[in-house]
Homo-oligomer: A and B are copies of this chain.
């Protein structure tokens, strides 16, 4: 049996994009279907199309929207690698960037001028993402000249507007009601802002744990004790945010949320901040788009670990892959209306994936005997 899928890059992630209706046509359990296509569970995903890293084992399910307010319904899945599990609990900001381009390339949305706005409804969070996609000469293009940090080749840019991103999962921007909490770890307490914008995120004040926010991924991932302490902070945050009933349950409930990030003042003296984050227990090579939205939300909320940009301009966040810039647009009450991030996206391949049958056909004995 074969399943149609398109391999796309959105920002610094690679994801396989499925027409939701194609997966429905296969039937059966959707988690099992994705796990087998990706070759999971297997740390190398060698017998499937997964890329064996958290940023390359992602699935995007798309269909023309069932609601009149949106063009496309978009569901994100983080497909387990060594773990036999699919996590549907959150959105992926980088993967979001492929949705408008795909919808235009598939003919689901009609181009309107040089740039076409595609309204995307993310079903994981119930939130809307506005996407402005280049359609030069009135047609979508797979070629562009926008370069972003972490991707060495240019491609078409996409402006993403995360509208009213607060409370995506927990219902409130500050699920604890406080801009600042203290999380328990075996190395003492760490101050943190627990923010639910785009995705629930625990933003730690790094210096409380001796972190300057300029750590390299190798430094962090090579320090099992630090990863343990960060995991403790995440587990405690999960409980305070109402996601897990107890710290011991946090990983079981979701390894993906809350996101865990830490910050500190920028060493460059440019009024920016440092930003580092974990993704599925390892340091992210850059910063997830949804976490940069959480940073933006915190920056316009008094009393958090993230300062407001001095001039009311964009927030500059230094990541392992360079500087990410986010802009927050406020509503009349001073709350966060929309957070804008620029990404790029490209279709890499159009494919038919092979799905092995329920029971393998028997080979002839000769073919799988010991070497003759």
Interface residues of A (CB under 8 A from B): 2, 5, 7, 9, 12-14, 39, 41-42, 44, 46-49, 51-53, 55-56, 114-115, 132-134, 136, 141-146, 150-159, 285, 314, 325-327, 340-342, 344, 346-354, 356-357, 360-364, 366-372
Contacts and interface: CB of A to CB of B under 8 A. Distances in A.
Given A340-B372, A342-B368, A364-B115, A46 B144 contact: no
A361 B145 CA distance: 7
- A-B complex: 10 closest residue pairs judged by Cβ atoms: A340-B371, A157-B368, A134-B367, A146-B368, A351-B351, A114-B364, A134-B363, A47-B153, A327-B371, A143-B360
Nearest to A132: B367
Contacts of A156: 363, 367-368
Contact of A356 (B39, B142, B327, B371): B142
Nearest to A141: B361
A77 to B, nearest CB: 18
Contacts of A55: 44, 46
Contacts of A142: 354, 356
Contact of A47 (B52, B151, B364): B151
Given A143-B356, A349-B49, A363-B136, A341 B371 contact: yes
Given A51-B51, A144-B368, 10 more contacts: A5-B349, A44-B285, A46-B150, A115-B367, A136-B363, A144-B361, A159-B369, A342-B370, A346-B354, A349-B354
B14 A46 contact: yes
Query: How many copies of this chain does the complex contain?
Result: 2
Contacts of A53: 52
A41 B151 CA distance: 11
A115 B366 contact: yes
A35 to B, nearest CB: 11
Contacts of A150: 44, 46
Contact of A9 (B46, B132, B134, B154): B46
27 contacts: A5-B349, A7-B49, A7-B351, A47-B155, A47-B346, A51-B51, A52-B56, A114-B366, A115-B366, A115-B367, A134-B363, A134-B366, A136-B361, A136-B363, A141-B363, A142-B356, A144-B360, A145-B363, A146-B363, A154-B360, A155-B360, A156-B368, A157-B368, A159-B367, A314-B371, A326-B371, A344-B368
Contacts of A46: 9, 12-14, 55-56, 150-151
A328 to B, nearest CB: 10
Contacts of A351: 7, 349-352
B371 A47 contact: no
B47 A152 contact: yes
Contacts of A144: 360-363, 367-368
A153 B356 contact: yes
